[in-house]
Amino acid sequence: MSSSKLVIDKLEKSFSELGVILEGNKKCDIDYQISAVIYVINILNECQNNNYIDFDDVINEIKLIYSNLYPPRGGLSDFFIWKADFNERVKANEPLGRIGDELGEMLK
């Protein structure tokens, strides 16, 4: 399996998980982020369908979108899932933090 395929597949998995979390905890102020995640998933799927020919261009575009999703302030950098119980809140936000870390590692 090529390294391009592995990277695209991992990105697609992480962005898909992120999309599910955002849709499930939708707040009116994250509509842009949800649409950006859907767009990223679509271009990743297109890259897969094109046998990863445009891999470098796709990665560069995703890096740009990622930087807009996770600015130093605002965006998904400040997004969290609220639960009244602290332990439930920590558990609910763990996947969100893990996905953000994974994406950060892959797209640095």
Residue 1 is predicted with a pLDDT of 56
Instruction: Report yes or no: 48 and 12 within 8 Å, Cβ to Cβ.
Output: yes
Number of domains into which the chain is organized = 1
Which backbone phi and psi does 60 adopt, to 5 degrees?
-60, -40
- CA–CA distance, 104 with 60 (Å, rounded to integer): 14
Q: Note down the domain range covering 63.
A: 3-106
pLDDT along the chain (108 residues), means of 10: 88 98 87 96 96 93 94 87 96 96 94
| HSE, side-chain direction, 13 A CA sphere, residue 94 | 6
Instruction: Indicate whether this model's pTM tops 0.75.
Output: yes
- CA–CA distance, 100 with 55 (Å, rounded to integer): 21
